[in-house]
Chain A
Amino acid sequence: MFPRFGRDVGFPILGSAVLFTVFLAGALFYQSTQGRAAERLVTVMLIDAIIVIGIQIYVGNTGVLSFGHIGFGAIAGYAFAVLAISPAEKLKRIPDAPFGLDEVLLNPGLAIAVAIGVTLVVALVVGIGLARSGAESGAVAATVITLALLFVAHEVARNWPDLTGGDRAGLSFKVGAALDSRLPIYACLLAALIVARLYAQSRSGKLAVAAREDNLAARAMGVNPLVQQTAALLISVVVVSAGSALRVFENGSILPDDFFFRYTLLTLTMLIVGGRNSVTGALVGVAVMTVGRELARRLGQDGFEMFGLGLDDGPLDWIFRENLQTVFLGLAMLGFMIFRSDGLLGDWELDAWLWRRWQRRRPEEPMPEPLAEIAPVGLHVEVDRRGPALEVHDLAVDFGGFRALDGAGLTVAPDEVVGLIGPNGAGKTTLVNVITGIVEPTAGRFTVGERDLSAEPSHEIARAGLVRTFQNLRLFGALTVRQNVELASRVAARHRPGSHPPVETLIAEAGLWQVRDRRARELDYGSARRLELARAAAMAPDFLLLDEPTSGMSDTESTEMIRRVRHMAAAVDAGVLVIDHDLNFITGISDRIYVLDQGRVISVGTPDEVQADPAVRAVYLGTERSG
């Protein structure tokens, strides 16, 4: 089922080739009209494109803002220069190079490979650091760590003249020894595009994007974001390193300031102007910003004369000054952040668009058959107790001085629907948060069969078969309905044993077939709730934990939800723990009910038994009657 060859491999490669061709054709056309003067501009743009696409792989897929990629570029650039510059030249600049590096000479291809390797080692260390700091979309700590990398790389380059030639002299190739052909740049750009698109469509890329959209929900779906972020970082660093080495090779020299703040600003602006979440966008951003900067530069130099207009721009002289492009760059970044923070293209991709058009020409996908019919609702079937049960023992949770859970325990058998009910603040959601690894318990433990899950992280718990929905809806907003379900299915395919319900069937079952290609954030409230259910079911869980699945729904919708929950749970063969404070809903859906009050279980039994329990009437119905 995954990956779908056309969508995830064929079209991305095709699309990258098309993008590359169009981009290059445009550049070469411009060059042919401007003559040799434009040659350098085009070369620089091509190299910038490689580096920006490299940055996109990390920033776009993870949502972590990195200032450090140009720092990685500096490391790769220096490693390349030190290895590829001839010993004769090094004798002039860095005669005392450490580790005998002054004698080393590698051919450029090999030097690039080694430079990438060296940078990867640094990236791995930084990646572990980022992971430890709890990197997630927009995380400040992660951004500061990347900023630290940029500054440290720069400081080391400035202050280690034996290796880098220092602040003034730097390192340079012998005249004429620099890169004189564009072929390696073309090859590298095409490869960068393909790598970026294939990664975005890969399993790791999809999971990283899910974590970008909602870190907590991704973890609750069995995704370990840190693994995916590190993968994205390493791949992105390979591309940035290759681009940076080429940049040094083409320039013929390297200085600390070549890979510092200014270049970081330039590349980041290119990325966000085009649209950081899209490879196509990144490339468009490079083109737009290169053209814009060039125009601004010339406007600053020549005023209106650059347009061949005879207009008197004298009064505007005070605006059109040298270095106008610097202001342009800053304004572009600021303007896009304020007015269009997703950039020109948002997350539009050429190959995905082509793929959709291709699909439209094919016959309409038939709506899948519904899941096998099961025993009617409300009938208490003798359950088969072969599978392990979920057991929760004596959980206690303290929030500061407040005891949210105070020795609560419960059991859910496989194939059983258990309700958990209680007034507001009774600790229901806290209990689900504990058994999904989001809140750490002060005391107590919970197990599925023999396996103690109390100390496991969220994603391990999800993979062990405890899958939840959220009271306040946590979908992957930028992904479509189908992608939301597919994602869970991908995790299940790797980490959950046994058979998995087909994605299409689940979507149809949730009544979302008509809107399957809509983005999750565009769904109405009821559909969004049903999508959460379908997404959880796609994990093929042993136990579904539903946190107020009908909150905000009408009575009719609630009744419909009861049917759906029982149906889905039976179809994927899962036990259910459902939280609600709506007594009608809970009694309608549950085989057994636990009543929670002030962090303790005060009653347990069938719906009838619980409703008859005086303690429950006092605490729960009592408050309801007076309220």
Chain B
Amino acid sequence: MTELAQNLIDGLGRGSIYALLALGVAVVFGVMHLLNFAHGELITVGGYVALWTLGGNWSWYLVAPLIVVSAILTSLVIERVAFSRVRGSSDFTLLLTSFGVHFVVSAMFLLYVSASVKPFARPTWVTNTYSVGSLNIEVFDTVVIVVTVLTLIGTTLLLQRTMFGLSLRAAAADFDTARLMGVRSDTVIRGAFALSGLLAGIAGVFWLMRAGSINPTAGINPMLKGVLAALIGGLGSLRGAVIGGLALGLAEVLLRSRLPDSVASLTEGVVFLLIALLFIFRPQGLITVAHAERV
């Protein structure tokens, strides 16, 4: 029982980060039908910002907002340089464009910064824990969960209460009709990328705090988590993305603690396999989003 409760808390902490990543992926997918395989690069860039600033003995309290800002800017730059040019292209082109961005960014860091793993200082409280009854709870997980909840509340308010949020939701439901209703596609798409960058930035701060190092291909892992979680949730659905992220986090923690040791190192593979099976038996994801093709 205790173990299960412990797993749940660990899984929620992990899943919260995935939820933020997945939400960013889903927001962009909603307006552009683009599954963004370059989403992890926002964190890679943030990682190098952290490396350089922390190397200059900056405080994490200054570095964290910088990471978020750099992720938003990177997201906007990538949109401008690459994605704005393939708007409306076939899904095939969109998929490979985002892969191309991923490879170019990581290759740039590989070539012009360093191929090796560079460590940086983590905040001292990351590894602290406190006990509630028989549970050991990480301070870090607590912070992650609290910040995630706040971010989700903020995002919900943004989407529900502002004109931009309304445009974004309208565009996600039916882009063409939204445009006819006077929604400006440029504004909405850039806004979506900025929001996606913001969410990735917040997730990135936690990701980097825990990792304590950066390398050119560090973006692959968070990208995969975000994309997979968004897929589990059914891509178009923002609520689904959050649920997908939490589900993925919990699944990983549970698998890792329950699988026999000999296969525990296969966790990633097992998660992938489960997701492939999910697609085979429920291609629309856990949360069904109705999207009728007009015939």
Interchain CB contact (< 8 A) of A137 among B91, B100, B272: B91
B235 touches A155 (CB 8 A): no
B95, B115, B294, B295 pick with most chain A CB within 10 angstroms: B295
The secondary-structure label for the interface of chain A is helix
- Knowing A133-B283, A333-B103, the reply to whether A148 touches B273 (Cβ < 8 A) is yes
The answer to the question of B280 belonging to the interface, with a C-beta cut-off of 8 Å to chain A, is yes
- Encoded as 1 (CB less than 8 Å from any B CB) or 0, chain A from 196 to 217 comes to 0000000000000000000010
- Encoded as 1 (CB less than 8 Å from any A CB) or 0, chain B from 251 to 276 comes to 00000000000010110110011011
B111 touches A216 (CB 8 A): no
Of chain B, the residue at the smallest CB distance from A468 is: B295
The answer to the question of B44 belonging to the interface, with a C-beta cut-off of 8 Å to chain A, is no
Of chain A, the residue at the smallest CB distance from B268 is: A155
Q: How far apart sit A155 and B101, CA to CA, in the bound complex (Å)?
A: 25
- Encoded as 1 (CB less than 8 Å from any B CB) or 0, chain A from 114 to 153 comes to 0000000000000001001110011111011101110110
The answer to the question of A429 belonging to the interface, with a C-beta cut-off of 8 Å to chain B, is yes
Surface stretch bound by A, among B52-60, B82-90, B131-139, B193-201 = B82-90
Interchain CB contact (< 8 A) of A155 among B92, B93, B266, B294: B266
A132 touches B280 (CB 8 A): yes
Of chain B, the residue at the smallest CB distance from A438 is: B295
A251 neighbours in B (Cβ, 8 Å): none
Q: How far apart sit A143 and B37, CA to CA, in the bound complex (Å)?
A: 12
| Interface members, chain B 84-134 (any A CB < 8 Å) | 85-86, 89-97, 99-101, 103-108, 110-112, 115
B231 touches A327 (CB 8 A): no
Q: How far apart sit A49 and B269, CA to CA, in the bound complex (Å)?
A: 29
The answer to the question of B61 belonging to the interface, with a C-beta cut-off of 8 Å to chain A, is no
- Knowing A148-B272, A156-B269, A216-B293, the reply to whether A138 touches B111 (Cβ < 8 A) is no
- Knowing A152-B272, A323-B111, the reply to whether A134 touches B283 (Cβ < 8 A) is yes
The answer to the question of A318 belonging to the interface, with a C-beta cut-off of 8 Å to chain B, is yes
A316 neighbours in B (Cβ, 8 Å): none
| Interface members, chain B 215-251 (any A CB < 8 Å) | 220, 227-228, 231, 235
Interchain CB contact (< 8 A) of B265 among A137, A159, A268, A341: A159
Closest Cβ–Cβ distance, residue A468 to chain B (whole Å): 10
A338 touches B283 (CB 8 A): no
Q: How far apart sit A152 and B269, CA to CA, in the bound complex (Å)?
A: 5
Closest Cβ–Cβ distance, residue A155 to chain B (whole Å): 3
B292 neighbours in A (Cβ, 8 Å): 399
Of chain B, the residue at the smallest CB distance from A126 is: B276
Closest Cβ–Cβ distance, residue B3 to chain A (whole Å): 25
A400 neighbours in B (Cβ, 8 Å): 290
B231 touches A144 (CB 8 A): yes
B235 neighbours in A (Cβ, 8 Å): 140
- Encoded as 1 (CB less than 8 Å from any B CB) or 0, chain A from 422 to 438 comes to 00000001000100001
B99 touches A341 (CB 8 A): no
Interchain CB contact (< 8 A) of A159 among B115, B266, B293: B266
Q: How far apart sit A438 and B293, CA to CA, in the bound complex (Å)?
A: 10
- Knowing A141-B279, A148-B276, the reply to whether A333 touches B96 (Cβ < 8 A) is yes
Q: How far apart sit A272 and B273, CA to CA, in the bound complex (Å)?
A: 28
B85, B96, B275 pick with most chain A CB within 10 angstroms: B96
A129 touches B231 (CB 8 A): no
The answer to the question of A584 belonging to the interface, with a C-beta cut-off of 8 Å to chain B, is no
The answer to the question of A521 belonging to the interface, with a C-beta cut-off of 8 Å to chain B, is no
Q: How far apart sit A324 and B110, CA to CA, in the bound complex (Å)?
A: 10
A149 touches B276 (CB 8 A): yes
B276 touches A144 (CB 8 A): yes
Q: How far apart sit A187 and B33, CA to CA, in the bound complex (Å)?
A: 43
Q: How far apart sit A139 and B91, CA to CA, in the bound complex (Å)?
A: 7
Which bucket holds chain A's interface residue count?
35 or more
Closest Cβ–Cβ distance, residue A281 to chain B (whole Å): 15
- Encoded as 1 (CB less than 8 Å from any A CB) or 0, chain B from 276 to 289 comes to 11011101000000
A472 neighbours in B (Cβ, 8 Å): 294-295
Contacts across chains A and B counted by CB atoms under 8 Å:
134
Closest Cβ–Cβ distance, residue A514 to chain B (whole Å): 30
A433 touches B295 (CB 8 A): yes
The answer to the question of A603 belonging to the interface, with a C-beta cut-off of 8 Å to chain B, is no
A151 touches B268 (CB 8 A): yes
A470 neighbours in B (Cβ, 8 Å): 295
Q: How far apart sit A272 and B103, CA to CA, in the bound complex (Å)?
A: 15
- Knowing A318-B112, A341-B89, A438-B295, the reply to whether A138 touches B95 (Cβ < 8 A) is yes
Of chain B, the residue at the smallest CB distance from A432 is: B295
Q: How far apart sit A134 and B266, CA to CA, in the bound complex (Å)?
A: 28
Interchain CB contact (< 8 A) of A268 among B96, B101, B231, B275: B96
Q: How far apart sit A326 and B108, CA to CA, in the bound complex (Å)?
A: 9
Closest Cβ–Cβ distance, residue B116 to chain A (whole Å): 13
A341 touches B93 (CB 8 A): yes
A143 touches B295 (CB 8 A): no
A65 touches B268 (CB 8 A): no
The answer to the question of B35 belonging to the interface, with a C-beta cut-off of 8 Å to chain A, is yes
Interchain CB contact (< 8 A) of B283 among A65, A132, A149, A151: A132
Interchain CB contact (< 8 A) of A148 among B100, B101, B275, B295: B275
Of chain B, the residue at the smallest CB distance from A217 is: B295
A137 touches B110 (CB 8 A): no
The answer to the question of A571 belonging to the interface, with a C-beta cut-off of 8 Å to chain B, is no
Closest Cβ–Cβ distance, residue B82 to chain A (whole Å): 6
Q: How far apart sit A35 and B97, CA to CA, in the bound complex (Å)?
A: 38
Of chain B, the residue at the smallest CB distance from A64 is: B92
A326 touches B110 (CB 8 A): yes
Q: How far apart sit A429 and B292, CA to CA, in the bound complex (Å)?
A: 14
Interchain CB contact (< 8 A) of A338 among B86, B220, B231: B86
Q: How far apart sit A178 and B272, CA to CA, in the bound complex (Å)?
A: 34
Closest Cβ–Cβ distance, residue A127 to chain B (whole Å): 11
B86 neighbours in A (Cβ, 8 Å): 337-338, 341
- Encoded as 1 (CB less than 8 Å from any A CB) or 0, chain B from 161 to 191 comes to 0000000000000000000000000000000
- Encoded as 1 (CB less than 8 Å from any B CB) or 0, chain A from 327 to 340 comes to 10111011101110
A144 touches B112 (CB 8 A): no
Q: How far apart sit A65 and B35, CA to CA, in the bound complex (Å)?
A: 13
Q: How far apart sit A156 and B270, CA to CA, in the bound complex (Å)?
A: 10
A339 neighbours in B (Cβ, 8 Å): 85
A141 neighbours in B (Cβ, 8 Å): 231, 279, 283
- Knowing A129-B280, A137-B90, A144-B276, the reply to whether A327 touches B295 (Cβ < 8 A) is no
B228 neighbours in A (Cβ, 8 Å): 144
Closest Cβ–Cβ distance, residue A623 to chain B (whole Å): 23
A134, A155, A268, A470 pick with most chain B CB within 10 angstroms: A155
Interchain CB contact (< 8 A) of B272 among A143, A151, A326, A333: A151
> Chain A interface (Cβ within 8 Å of chain B)?
63, 65, 129, 132-134, 137-141, 143-145, 147-149, 151-152, 155-156, 159, 216, 261, 265, 268, 272, 318, 321-324, 326-327, 329-331, 333-335, 337-339, 341, 399-400, 429, 433, 438, 470-472
For the complex of A and B, 7 pairs with smallest distance between CB atoms? A138-B91, A334-B100, A155-B269, A330-B103, A330-B104, A148-B276, A333-B100
**A-B contact list, 27 entries, CB within 8 Å:** A65-B95, A129-B276, A134-B283, A138-B90, A138-B92, A138-B94, A140-B35, A143-B95, A144-B276, A144-B279, A151-B272, A159-B266, A261-B220, A323-B115, A326-B103, A326-B107, A327-B108, A330-B105, A333-B96, A334-B97, A334-B101, A334-B104, A337-B100, A338-B97, A341-B93, A470-B295, A471-B295
